[in-house]
Structure 1
């Protein structure tokens, strides 16, 4: 598909592709960087991208950011910290103080990583149920107590964007507040959660954890409104990542069915697989149009909230990525299940994408509400 990109954007995408071919182009390279897929982020590789100036896309256009996310995901570059860092940087750029913007937005551009802590054991999709509480402490600061869970990349992040309750009661959106909490703050304990995807998510335990008043992001009690303002970016980031994953899973599958022979000819020549490939390719093209159309809408007016479009792009692209990866595993047969090949990693990455950042069910509910239902 021919997107309406500038020459600079095309050159940017090509440079990312070339970089990934050199640095992560072989399975041996990727295994060395990730301990055989255990880790999702390699700071050394990430720093190389920062030194090239690429992480400055967080301060550029949404289209540029999507290009970076799509092409690094396609190249299987282990820079998992970028997605959460860019979400945090987006919140800080909108609501943070000048000092916070310098430290977080500027820090992300130079290779620092950040995480976000919102979900709790009893509050996932239902953000209003959050109970982790921050109460006034000495010198105008706050004392935080409670637990957060499923916090991506907190185990290597420099700081964490925390959403805690400063007023109201669980069940109310009012009274939520954002804080930037350095990862080494006394009273904060980070504990990894073992998953089929490796080391990527964590439990966070806050016990009399004190943060100064300048840790508040935006306005006390306005955290819900601030979260809603960031939904365009968060869902678009996840969609762009899964677009790259879907494309890579498709190309890996296509390469396999062209080479693998059964009954005297390549299996891709059989109508059943040929038609399946055609359907998957069409779905990916639809996703690409939706991702970059949504990015263009964001660039036209970054302050405009796009609940329908952002939910649609997240829903469609993550579900297509899951479909492509599972179809790839099926067409590759036993090899698709073997750790010798990347397909089983594509499957694991795609499966969870329909859960984090708002499940597919939540996205459908939001879309339905935008039609007055």
Structure 2
């Protein structure tokens, strides 16, 4: 990646690494930060990232952002993951902000994008108990009221960062009949709206995802984001950024896992020498380094393409990047745990945390199976 960065981006990377080392460079510091929410997000650290102006890295200057592109956002995400910076609210926030940037009204853009730049967390609610990979099967219903507003009832689940969010970009059904992909609408939903109940779901990774219950929630007419009944088309335009951001984050985690594993096998001795000197482990690390390098090339190539043609969709390439980076991270964590033996399984070390983070990455944002299906269909299969 280094050869593809501008001087400004190289300086940004240096600043990110310095910040991560200073603020999150020890296990004790990371544990103290993540204890704030019981999950991978530290509000106090996030506020400092906002003060530095980094949360608006790829958002418009009009709303206080830095005006950067996908490459800049991927750089931020990769380095935060490698430095174990607990800024778990960023991915959903920037994905949601990009949707507002494309389809929101001026007032919605100012509130949402300006909020992200200032350190607010945003969330997006699509999945339901009966609509996971098949998102278009959602049943959450929004109906017109007599005053032109909306009455919404339904249940969303696995909603990342809803418990931290100032507002939620809600996808609900406003029309019936015809293709299931039609009749879906996006709504700007302040998280404190009466009738909204957010309940955390306990997971291996701590407090990250939530059930969101909507009971007779009333929204004004101008809460619609974009065009009524066109949410599916609007959602597909954001797939480049969602999948690429997730890929960049997992690329950074893969690098961190490799570095941690390499450091361990260089120091751990058995049979009178470092365990990394045995061919069985040396070859494993060689293969892993090659896989990470392949993921790196793919992620940064897709980012460059998106920056060169910002209005073009890259469904095949974005799915490839997400598939390769997340599966590589999962493999790296499993290999790292195996090479560290019992220490990889112990909570004293970071490897077990790496594994929990990596495994779920092959599920959220579209499972690996869904990514493979998208790639296959792009070839007419």
TM-score range, shorter chain: over 0.9
Matching residue of 2:333: 325
Contact residue 129 and residue 170 of structure 1 kept, 8 A = no
Q: Which whole-Å CA distance do the structure 2 matches of 1:169 and 1:248 have between them?
A: 49
Report the alpha carbon displacement of residue 35 of structure 1 after superposing the two structures with TM: 1.8
Matching residue of 2:62: none
Residue 108 of structure 2, aligned match among 100, 103, 106? 100
Contact residue 30 and residue 37 of structure 1 kept, 8 A = no
The answer to whether 1:304 aligns with 2:309 is no
Contact residue 73 and residue 242 of structure 1 kept, 8 A = yes
**Aligned CA-pair RMSD:** 1.2
Report the alpha carbon displacement of residue 302 of structure 1 after superposing the two structures with TM: 1.5
Contact residue 144 and residue 206 of structure 1 kept, 8 A = yes
Report the alpha carbon displacement of residue 127 of structure 1 after superposing the two structures with TM: 1.5
Report the alpha carbon displacement of residue 4 of structure 1 after superposing the two structures with TM: 1.1
Matching residue of 1:139: 147
The answer to whether 1:358 aligns with 2:380 is no
For residues 139 and 322 of structure 1, do their structure 2 counterparts lie closer, same or farther at Cα, with a shift above 3 Å needed? same
Matching residue of 2:280: 272
Deviates more, 1:23-32 or 1:168-177: 168-177
Matching residue of 1:30: 30
Instruction: Give the number of aligned pairs.
Output: 373
The answer to whether 1:122 aligns with 2:153 is no
Structure 2 unmatched ranges of 5 or more: 60-67
1:246-265 map, 5 Å: 246-265=254-273
For residues 355 and 214 of structure 1, do their structure 2 counterparts lie closer, same or farther at Cα, with a shift above 3 Å needed? same
Report the alpha carbon displacement of residue 288 of structure 1 after superposing the two structures with TM: 0.9
For residues 245 and 317 of structure 1, do their structure 2 counterparts lie closer, same or farther at Cα, with a shift above 3 Å needed? same
TM-score, length of structure 1 as denominator length: 0.98
Contact residue 130 and residue 170 of structure 1 kept, 8 A = no
The answer to whether 1:46 aligns with 2:46 is yes
Matching residue of 1:58: 58
The answer to whether 1:228 aligns with 2:236 is yes
Deviations 1:135-180 (A, max 9, x none): 0024221111000000000001000011100002596000000011
TM-score, length of structure 2 as denominator length: 0.96
The answer to whether 1:72 aligns with 2:75 is no
Matching residue of 2:9: 9
Matching residue of 1:244: 252
Deviates more, 1:317-326 or 1:103-112: 103-112
Q: Which whole-Å CA distance do the structure 1 matches of 2:3 and 2:249 have between them?
A: 17
The answer to whether 1:314 aligns with 2:322 is yes
Deviations 1:277-297 (A, max 9, x none): 011111111111111110111
Any idea what SS the aligned residue of 1:139 has? coil
Matching residue of 2:184: 176
